[in-house]
Amino acid sequence: MAPYILARESWWITHMKNIQRNYWAYVIFVVPALLIYVTFYLYPLFQSLQYSLTKWNGINDPVFVGLSNFAKAISDEQFWVSFKNNIYFVLFSVFIQVPFIVFISIIVSSAKRFLNFYKLTVFLPCILSTASIGVIWQFIYSPDAGLLNQLLTAVGLESWKRIWLGDEATAFLSILLTNGWQWTGFYIVLVLAAIFAIPKEMLEAGEMDGATGWRKAWLLTIPLIRPVIMVTLLLSITGAMKALDIILIMTKGGPFGSSEVMASYMYKQAYTINDFGYANAIAVIVSLFTAVLSLIFQYINVKTREASE
């Protein structure tokens, strides 16, 4: 059997080398993916850029207006409110949600019993549709029969009761908490996978050197799962820039535009006001701003890694 197996392995290696030398093999594998990328990403992107330079209601022929739509965005007060809210979304994700995710992941990873139950519990919200999440939390935030106000009444904090989604001061914060609740479990599972992939020998060696409890987490666990934390941060940033459905379901950008983000404002400009030219200009701004944030994040990530080495 051994000579037969060696012969098959030799044939397979020779066959793969022949494929690698064949130009058409690369074409067969690359072209379908390239076509999908061009059709569903590059073409819509360039078309959006084209329409952003026009005045178009979605029915009549577009009229070229140059950079007027971008100038309109600069002078549009509501656009800057939505821009500011996107910044808050990113800051919440980076400085509150991700540290909380790491904290909970470390606690869950140290559990001796019911580990699968904990993982299922934290992961459950992200398998629900955003529509379901939005409706559930609308009931929780309800000013009369909502769970949150009922709990505040039960513990004697009636002065803290609010019309959470109808108050300009609390509407956007309520959405941030809801969105965080929905997606935190997904990232916790990612971080848990990274923690469980750490070789036990390294952790045992750290414990022998006196690194136990939170000291072990800070000096060993967090540095070893740093690549996954960086991925979680990047996904959180891009997710914050794409937030739309949870806004439309819970507040529709209200009250008085206080919970509007750029994506929801773009949606309203296109499908409520029928100003598709301005909506495409906002889409271009969102894309550029997301790209800039990603580049800044990558730069900081590289510099931080170099400094740690």
Taking 3-state DSSP, the helix, strand and coil percentages for the chain, each rounded to the nearest 5, stand at 75, 0, 20
- Please report the pLDDT score of residue 20 as a whole number: 61
Question: What is the model's pLDDT at position 1?
Answer: 46
Q: Is residue 49 classed exposed, middle or buried when 0-12, 13-18 and 19+ CB atoms within 10 A define those classes?
A: middle
The domains found in the chain, sorted by start residue, are 73-308 (1.10.3720.10)
Torsion on CA atoms 39, 44, 50, 54, rounded to nearest 10: 140
Q: 97-116 in b/e burial notation, b at 16+ Cβ within 10 A?
A: bbeebbebbbebbeeeeeee
pLDDT at 7: 52
Query: What is the predicted pLDDT for the residue at 91?
Result: 95
Q: Which residues of the chain have pLDDT under 70?
A: 1-23, 25, 309
Q: Name the 3-class secondary structure at 35.
A: helix
Per the rule left: phi > 0, alpha: psi between -120 and 50, beta: everything else, 213 is left
Q: What is the pTM of this model?
A: 0.86
177 and 93 Cβ atoms separated by less than 8 Å: no
Helices assigned H by DSSP within 1-76: 2-21, 23-37, 43-51, 68-75
Question: Rg of the Cα trace of the chain?
Answer: 25
Q: Residue 18: its pLDDT value, please?
A: 63
Give dist(CA 68, CA 55) in Å, integer.
9
The residue assigned the tokens 């392995």 is: 9
What is residue 216's predicted lDDT score, i.e. its pLDDT?
83
Q: How many CB atoms lie within 10 A of CB 53?
A: 20
CA 23 to the chain's CA centroid:
38
